Amino acid sequence: MKKLRIGLSLLLATTLLVSSCKENVNKENETTQTAPKVDLKTDQSDKFEVMQHATPLPRYMSVILSNKDLLNIDAKQEQQLTAISKGKSPKAVKTAYKIVEIEKEIHQLSLDNAKKELLATNFEKSLLLRTNLAIMKLDCRDNVLEILNEQQWKDLIALYQEKLPFDNKTDMIALITHVNPLPNYMQFIQNDVIKLDEGQDEKLSEWSAKNHPRMMELANTVIALEKNIYELSMNKEPREEILSNINEIAIIKRQIIATKTDCRDNLINNILSKEQWKALSSK
User: How far are the Cα atoms of 171, 174, 182 from residue 16, in angstroms, in the given order?
Assistant: 14, 11, 5
Longest dimension (CA), the chain: 71
- The domain spans of the chain are 8-12+40-281
Distance CA 261, CA 16 (A): 10
Distance CA 281, CA 283 (A): 6
User: How far are the Cα atoms of 41, 131, 252, 262 from residue 255, in angstroms, in the given order?
Assistant: 37, 18, 5, 11
Q: Which amino acid is at 228?
A: N
pLDDT along the chain (283 residues), means of 10: 37 37 35 34 67 94 94 97 95 96 96 95 97 97 98 97 91 87 80 83 91 93 97 97 98 95 94 91 79
pLDDT for position 17: 36
Distance CA 194, CA 107 (A): 20
pLDDT for position 225: 98
Distance CA 281, CA 22 (A): 18
Q: Are 70 and 23 in contact (CB under 8 A)?
A: no
**Global pTM value:** 0.82
Distance CA 176, CA 26 (A): 12
3-state percent helix, strand, coil for the chain, nearest multiple of 5: 70, 0, 30
pLDDT for position 200: 92
Distance CA 79, CA 7 (A): 37
User: How far are the Cα atoms of 37, 58, 72, 138, 156 from residue 163, in angstroms, in the given order?
Assistant: 12, 12, 18, 21, 11
pLDDT for position 45: 65
Indicate the SS3 state at residue 38.
Answer: strand
Alpha helices in 55-115 (DSSP H): 60-66, 75-111
Q: How many CA atoms lie within 13 A of 260 on its CB side?
A: 33
Q: Please state the φ and ψ torsions of residue 35, each to the nearest 5 degrees.
A: -155, 155
